[in-house]
Amino acid sequence: MTATPHRRRPEVFDIAVIGGGIVGSAIARELSGYEVSVALLEARDDVGDGTSKANTAILHTGFDAKPGTLESRLVARGYHLLNAYAKATGIPVEHTGAVLVAWNQEELDALPSLKEKAEANGYERCRIIGADEVYQSLPALGDGALGGLTVPDESIICTWTTNLALATDAQQRGAKLLLQHAVTGVDQTDEVTTLHTAKGEVRARWVINAAGLGADHIDRLFGHDRFTVTPRRGELFVFDKLTRPMVNKIVLPVPSSRGKGVLISPTIYGNVMLGPTAEDLTDRTDTATSEDGYDFLLTKGERLMPRLLSEEVTASYAGLRAAIDQPDYLIEATPEQRYLLVGGIRSTGLTAGIAIAEHVRHLLEESGPPLRSRADLPGPPRMPNIGEATTRPYQDAELIASDPAYGSIVCFCERVTEGEIRDACHASVPARTLEGLRRRTRAMNGRCQGFFCGAAVAALHTQHRADDGCGSQHKDNG
């Protein structure tokens, strides 16, 4: 299993976490709160650049999870933990609520059992409503809705800021962030595991596999054959901000014998989103959109909300979910190998991430020596606001008076300022690429998709990365 020899890092970490998505970053943050040394390895050149970046960005109550599963428990716990963490760090959240809309008799008949499932999961605020109340809540819906189920605490959140906050927090607590460290081989001795990566060897006493789409490959490097990841592509449309008044709540499909279906949701950036599709692939890198996906979404959208389809689509994108051949999260420790697997974390991992990290810590404490809490933890980072529900920098007269760069707009579609671009380039986990800059500031994510502002944004990014001494070390891929 040994790869070609690389440069060896002199230190031996107590714990190496593989995967810089939301779950891996949350685990690194959690464990860095204890007296252990932690390395967070990410294969790409930024955190949150895999499955986490294309999440549907819903903060779930866990009302519809299968009762009694690990997923249902951790999503319910994670909902409260992430809400509190968002308040502490400034992650944008809007508590919009949701309505499951029944369009046929089968779906209408399923509403009472869905309400019972929610109550079995500890969520008791769902309410069955008739068609009149559905249309009072969502007047732009298409004709034919028969009833609905309200979920008043479902919310929308910024998945990008969540991932960045967790990784920044982990780093400020002392974790070492190792980017471009794709794991290609594993060697184990009685006390130390050596991870062979594209950037050299990393040695650790314990290894945690939170590698998302690559988790089964890493698991096999440790000699296991427990599961297979199937990349499941989900395509989405993002509609112009003028559509937001049509959709003030998340419109959820009623799960049926044919699957979960397509949702309509507002975003914290002021847009409306339609999707996702669900297509199983073999290529774990295929995030291209497709003609079939477009046709499917247009057909669904025409039925769900015809007025929406007459508005402009400002972006379409596809993300891959790490579907596995098991019905629940797969989180297991192998103490004799000092190895812990965190696999099969579906899109609910956004909500459950901090609770998953808590669960992983408990498993580590059961499998090895007790972890001792640190008394010198820094406070959580305060993240820049890129949501529309609260004041953005270009609207803050006091901030602009103290630093005029926050009054100099560069991206006019999204109202992103020069000050925000500068800050993102000089942050503790900086925007090394233009795509990373998009996720930190919203620059080039608006109606023109960078056609007007792209050159100016790229020039500022290059300037500030050079000022930071990193301009020549990374290639922009925007």
Residues with catalytic roles: 60
State how far the Cα of 178 lies from the Cα of 39, in Å rounded to an integer. 7
Q: Is 78 helix (H, G, I), strand (E, B) or coil?
A: helix
State how far the Cα of 139 lies from the Cα of 168, in Å rounded to an integer. 41
First CA to last CA distance, the chain = 35
State how far the Cα of 429 lies from the Cα of 38, in Å rounded to an integer. 16
How many CB atoms lie under 10 A from the CB of residue 75? 27
- Bridge partners of 69, per DSSP, are none
Q: Is 54 helix (H, G, I), strand (E, B) or coil?
A: helix
Return all residues near 44 (Cβ < 8 A) that are at least 6 apart: 20, 50, 179, 180
Answer for the pair 402, 419: CB distance below 8 angstroms, yes or no.
Answer: no
Token pair listed for 419: 């000050």
Q: Is 301 helix (H, G, I), strand (E, B) or coil?
A: helix
State how far the Cα of 257 lies from the Cα of 370, in Å rounded to an integer. 46
Token pair listed for 445: 């994510």
Token pair listed for 402: 């103290």
Residue 68's Cβ-count burial label (10 Å; 0-12, 13-18, 19+) is exposed
